[in-house]
Every structure is written in structure tokens, then in C-alpha cells.
Amino acid sequence: MSAPVRIDLVADFVCPWCWLGWRNWLAAKKLAPDIKTEVTWRPYELDPSIPDEGAPYRDYMKGKFSGENAERWKAMRTHLEAAGPGAGIDFRFDAIIHRPNTINAHRLIRWARGQSAKKADAVAEGLFAAFFRDGKDIGDSGVLTDIAVEAGLEGAIITDLLSTDRDKEDVRQEGDFFRQLGVTGVPSFIFEGQFAVPGAVEPAVLADALQRAASLPERD
């Protein structure tokens, strides 16, 4: 039996395209049910300059998407709100009041993936839903602990870990590694370390990439 196809999913949890891309990936796997996969979530901080305590979301977005870029963001938001329901996503941008620093979210999923891919996937879903659906601050230790518990992790341990700097440097180095590989935006799906599919592409595109990866001669 062939080994699972390895996919590195480079993402940030304040990126709406990453949630859409993840849901498209789940749909893509159903188009190629005979191919086993092994997904590893990889960190990418869209804006590492965000203060540890985060920033007001509306002020941040106004600064990031001002002038002509304001229309660009408006168009992207309209597209996301239209595409979301088809992927089972309810984007509620009006509910977001805080733009967090995501280093702690990335630490949490690192600890989850150390236990199992299933728990890492559950944490990822919890992070996306908390931020984009519920408007929660996913930089807050209490919110992160609640997400961890829901995903099957031990809450007390996560609370203790979040009170330290454990793995912060490792997470940043891992993110830098993927930047150096040429990842300039997320999501980015890297198949078997050989080729990447960037963006929240349609499930059929991801399914084709998965079949291509499964056929790589290096896997024979």
C-alpha cells in the first residue's frame, strides 16, 4: 500500500482565504477518495509586526486597505461572503473587533499536531470559526485554551504553556523557512515537498494536484 501523500499547508488563522482553502481541500479529498493524505499545518504570520496584545481590527484594516486598496478589500470581502456558504462557512466580518497577533495560535496548533493530525485539524477549525464566525480574539489565552479543550487537548497544560515563551522561536523559524522557500501568500499547499498550489483554489484543482503528487516517480 502506498504511503500517504504528504501536504504541508502553510496558513495563518486571520486569513479568510485560508479557511476557504482548507474547506476546499476537504472537498478535494472526496474527489480522490482512494488517495491517502497526511496534512501538516505550517505557520505563516501575515503581519509579525502586530503587537503581542493585538490591535483594533477596523483601525488596522483601514490602515492596510486605504485609498484604492479599500475598494480591493471591499471586492474581496464580497467574494468571500458569497463563496463561504458553499464551503459551509459563515464569514461575519462585522463581528470582528480585534486583530490579534497569531504567534500563540500557531504555537497551539504546533502542540496539537504533536499529538495527532486529527487534533491539529480540529484546532485549525476552531481558530478559524472563533475569529471569522464568532469575532473572538484568538490571541487571548483563554480563548485559545477553550479551542484546545474542544479539540481534545488538556486545558490546564495549554494554559501553562501559553504563559511561557515555549516554542515561540521555533514557530518563527519554521515560518521563516517557508518564506525562504518562496511562499509569499497563504494558503499554500505544498505537495510532497515538490510543488505548491497557492491560494484558495477550487476543489477540482486541488484534487488534480493530489493525483499528480500521488503519481510522482519518487514515491514508487
CATH of the domain at 87: 3.40.30.10
**Three cell numbers, residue 65:** 486597505
- Look at residue 68 in the predicted model and tell me its pLDDT: 78
- Look at residue 118 in the predicted model and tell me its pLDDT: 97
- Look at residue 70 in the predicted model and tell me its pLDDT: 86
- Look at residue 220 in the predicted model and tell me its pLDDT: 55
- Look at residue 215 in the predicted model and tell me its pLDDT: 94
**pLDDT tens readout for residues 39-59:** 999 999 999 999 999 999 999
- Look at residue 69 in the predicted model and tell me its pLDDT: 82
- Look at residue 1 in the predicted model and tell me its pLDDT: 56
Query: Residues of the chain whose pLDDT is less than 50?
Result: none
Q: How far, in Å, CA of 22 to CA of 9, rounded?
A: 9
SS3 3: coil
- Look at residue 5 in the predicted model and tell me its pLDDT: 97
Q: By the 8 A CB rule, do 21 and 200 touch?
A: yes
Q: Which domain holds residue 97?
A: 5-219
Q: What is the pTM of this model?
A: 0.96
Q: By the 8 A CB rule, do 28 and 67 touch?
A: no
Other CB atoms within a 10 A radius of the CB of residue 114 amount to 11
* Structural domains counted in the chain: 1
- Look at residue 172 in the predicted model and tell me its pLDDT: 96
